[in-house]
Structure 1
Amino acid sequence: MNRFAPKNLIRHGLTLVFGLSLGSFLVGCNPTSLPIGPTSINSRYTDEQPSLSANGRFLAFVSNRNGSRNILLYDLQNRQFADLPGLNRQNAIADSPSISNTARYIVYLTNNQGRSSVILYDRITRGSQVLYQPYQGWIRNPKISPDGRYIVFENGGRGQWDIEVLDRGPNIELDLIDGVPSGFSLSGPQ
């Protein structure tokens, strides 16, 4: 039988086309095509609870890529991690980050020896401050206002989830985008 018969030629051609199509589809869906490494957002570890700054430049999230649950801050514009000295501490579990306009302020939960706290980290002073630490009960989901003045979170101290609002006061240095509060228009109220 002639191996170049039209029927065999069509069958071999379709098999080749199908195989190439399937192969390119599988390569396109391969998870290793994502940039993974020390300078990328994604890693082979658990990265979760993302928070984006109001200016869209910074991304804070919780990761276990360094052997414990730490908060990392990624500069999306420069595609690199920002240094956060003093934020992540040994023997403390960091959770639920929230960041201000330009990520100057990071508010988050920490759990140290079973005691939860709401912590504020200032990237300029490189210092942390305990904003709230209940004697008993649970706290969760802290969020910071874009300018960094207000912090809200849920407090379970009364046997139900209540919302707490902390005002850091009028004398703090606000985190403003280009010196203008977010939502403010130079042409007047909106």
Structure 2
Amino acid sequence: MSRADGVCQEARDLLRGTRLDTGVYLDQIKKLEPAEQVAKVQADLAAPAKPKLKPEAAAEGEPSMPPTTETIEPVDSPEVAKLRKLFRSLTPEAQEDEYLGLHADLADLKAQIKDLKAERDGLKSQLSDLTADDKDEVIRRLTASVKTAENAKWRATEEQGRAMKQVYAFKKRVEELEQMGVVKL
């Protein structure tokens, strides 16, 4: 026995794929006569959807609505309705492939969000270091990071000098070998 038992076919056709296509709504209209079911569905679909309240709205002191037992879903746009129709036309295997692909995409996006949150937290930490109340400590940390950068630059310059000496030595050796006739470039 499904929740749609007792709802006429015409009303079910009108509901399919819309914001009202919920078990709660089906339970409400199956108590009506078939003609009344169709009329109620048409009227409810024509009425604008009630906006869902965001939890942060209540936290900010904005008025909140009491919780209801009815789930309010957004109205399907023509694009969403087209996608629903396309999805229903797929074979079960194709639907499964589509689901798995979307699931993999979702996992990738979640990992990307996790990385971005970690980066955001690091930047917040750096910002708090730069805006700390103890200005002397901030100056000490910044001075230490500048010295570290200067040391890295010095090491890179020294390494470059060593590499240039090796290049010069190799060029000199190649010239000697060319003069001896061993190598021709």
Report TM bin, short chain. Answer: under 0.3
Which structure has greater helix proportion?
2
Greater relative contact order, per chain length (Cα 8 Å cut-off, separation 6+): 2
Which structure has greater strand proportion?
1
